Structure 1
Amino acid sequence: MMRMAEVKQVSKNFGARQNLVRALNNISFKIERGEFVGVMGPSGAGKTTLLNVMSTIDQPTMGRIYLAGQEITTLPERDLAEFRRNNIGFIFQDFNLLPALSVRENLVMILSMLRLPADQVEQRLAYFSERLNLAELMSRYPNELSMGQKQRVAAARALMTRPQIVFADEPTGSLDSKSATELLQYLATINLEDETTIMMVTHDAFTASYCNRIIFIKDGALYAEVVRSGSRRQFFHQIIDMQAAIGGGNLSDFKNRL
């Protein structure tokens, strides 16, 4: 199996001297091609910082990061921008759709940067609009969409470039339970059938249960990993147990806090 991502002894500091904060602390792990990996941990554990340095939004203070066999921590900005455009997809909690453009235009715009032939653009548009059930929304504008519809459009936009890896930051955080479940089912299907590698930051055990493996971090360091081996229900309870442990309490205490 091809290694899609590798994080080697990565640290990330903010501030200086007396105000120095270490958000990531010498963390290392690997993600194989086709995995659906979740990142979880307490508030302030460094989850979003980790996603940012892996997805090229930010730079680590120390350590090395490899994506699709390329060390991204040494790339100059121009090469990094090209690598990002060709290899990485992003799904954010706040959608980041352009309000003046229709759904179709929001999706096509991302492909214009790749300079694809018109027939390939239409093929991808048709494929992902069917995959994420967007066909009836193509002429609408973002302010005419529900939260769940907006996130499905954002997911399609991230996938339209056929990236090597998709980074998702709390993609269900703004959604109701029905919309969240629909989005997660779409992502799980795309991961399984298209072998799209996904790394998703989440605080929610239900959302995380759609992953194949969960990386738990605490105080910026790797705390534990949980790998799915049975049903999603069993995996969900494994995640709950680990959340209770990482929070410093037992399972009954954790459930009482919900």
Structure 2
Amino acid sequence: MRMVEVQQVFKTFGARSTLVRALNNLSFKIERGEFVGIMGPSGAGKTTLLNIVSTIDKPTTGRVYLAGQEITQLSEAELTILRRDQIGFIFQDFNLLSALTVRENIIFPLTLTGIATAEIQKRLAHFSQQLELGDLLERYPDELSIGQKQRVSAARALMSKPKILFADEPTGSLDSKSATELLQYLATINLDDETTIMMVTHDAFTASYCNRILFIKDGAFYSEVVRSGSRQHFFNQIIDMQAAIGGGVRRDRTNRI
């Protein structure tokens, strides 16, 4: 099943002399169960693309499909239902509610959905175990490390069992240990639950956990790299492509793999 299809998407900001083209005739597809990274130089349009595919923004022209449904013409009420039922989002800044416990933060998105309490508790137990949050459920966000906060954010995003999970630089605020742990959890969720993941990142180490990387430059498709061997080999391919596209420097970071 095709989870994402982007067809000839353009996105412009401003008008006339101040017109900026953020996305330029961009097209690609993501199949169910893929873990896809979006990379490119600063200003390439990565976050703009993520915002459009995740329904936060709309394209100027072009079409976007999620799970076979064309989303660019949906009303705000229809988009609200789509976000609730099919989309999960991991934010770089966590967006946790400080007055709620970890447990309450995780289950909060489901409290107004009509899902039975027993089912909510079942999902809480599942994702708490996957993300190793069982001992943290009664704590508050200000009692957590940055890495723990990001795992709570991931659990909350997954509670609705979204068809696709969007992540915007999810390791950007994390130290290397916490980043590695989160990426391992995401890889496990991708494999065990067949959750489709689309992740924007600038970091080759983070991207090496994906199955495929789409590189964009100046808002247009540039190239892609598909993982076909070890993660070390994939990491080296990503680094080489970053150097070619102008979004990175070829350097040895094998100690991180």
TM range (shorter): over 0.9
What 5-or-longer segments of structure 2 have no aligned partner? 253-257
Q: Residue type matched to 1:67 in 2?
A: L
Q: Residue type matched to 1:175 in 2?
A: L
Q: Tell me if structure 1 keeps the 8 A contact 2:41–2:247.
A: no
Secondary structure of the 1:37 match is: strand
Secondary structure of the 2:56 match is: coil
TM-score normalised by the chain length of structure 1: 0.96
Structure 2 residue 70 is the aligned partner of structure 1 residue 74: no
Secondary structure of the 1:255 match is: coil
Pairwise CA distance, 1:254: 3.6
Pairwise CA distance, 1:235: 0.2
Secondary structure of the 2:251 match is: helix
After superposition, the CA RMSD in angstroms is: 1.1
Runs of 4+ residues over 4 Å off in structure 1: none
The residue correspondences of 1:25-36 to structure 2 (distance < 5 A) are 25-36=24-35
Pairwise CA distance, 1:29: 0.1
Partner residue in 1 for 2:108: 109
Percent identity of equivalent pairs: 74
Pairwise CA distance, 1:248: 8.1
Q: 1:57 to 1:133 in 2, by over 3 A?
A: same
Whole-angstrom CA distance in 2 between matches of 1:188 and 1:100: 30
TM-score normalised by the chain length of structure 2: 0.96
Output one character per residue of 1:178-216: Cα deviation in whole Å (capped at 9) or x when no partner: 000000000000001110000000000000000000000
Pairwise CA distance, 1:255: 2.9
Partner residue in 2 for 1:54: 53
Output one character per residue of 1:103-161: Cα deviation in whole Å (capped at 9) or x when no partner: 00001111113211010010000000000000000011111000000000000001010
Output one character per residue of 1:210-239: Cα deviation in whole Å (capped at 9) or x when no partner: 000000000000000000000000000000
May I ask how many residue pairs the two structures share in their alignment?
252
Q: Tell me if structure 1 keeps the 8 A contact 2:40–2:202.
A: yes
What 5-or-longer segments of structure 1 have no aligned partner? none
Q: Residue type matched to 2:208 in 1?
A: S
Partner residue in 1 for 2:238: 239
Q: Residue type matched to 1:231 in 2?
A: S
